[in-house]
Amino acid sequence: MRYVLLIYTTEPTEQVPEDLMMAEIGAYNAFNEHVRARGAYEAGEALDGTSTATTVRVRDGKTLTTDGPFAETKEALGGFYLLEAADLDEAIAYAAMIPSATHGSIEVRPVFDFSAPAVEAGAAASAGPN
């Protein structure tokens, strides 16, 4: 089953010391190698800061844009992994290995499988758009 692991951390308000940044990058490289070696890795990216975000809404047929994120929160979405895991327990085990789990949080969500037969008529509709 496919899971998305959403990485939330507090955005730094000042320059992160280079030695700490390099240690974090090294830990992420080790995690990437681990999930790739196990055949679990499908995708993953780091995101730029929330100050670069644009929020888009459509109201009454008009597209509205706002600079920045939609919600004010302590933690911001900083990146994600899309992984293949046998079950939720394995996905959680992978999430616990992500370096930012020690100072942020990792949200684990199964990816809805639109190719699977629907259990009930409205199952796909309740999952939302692709």
pLDDT digits (tens, 9 = 90+) for 69-96: 666 678 899 999 999 999 999 999 999 9
So what's the pLDDT on residue 118?
Answer: 65
Structural element, H or E, at residue 19: helix 18-37
Residues of the chain where predicted confidence (pLDDT) is lower than 70: 69-72, 118-130
- The reported pTM is 0.83
So what's the pLDDT on residue 121?
Answer: 47
Residues 83, 5: Cα–Cα separation, whole Å? 8
Tokens of 87: 């079950």
So what's the pLDDT on residue 128?
Answer: 61
Q: Decide: helix, strand or coil at residue 125.
A: helix
So what's the pLDDT on residue 124?
Answer: 52
Residues 18, 29: Cα–Cα separation, whole Å? 16
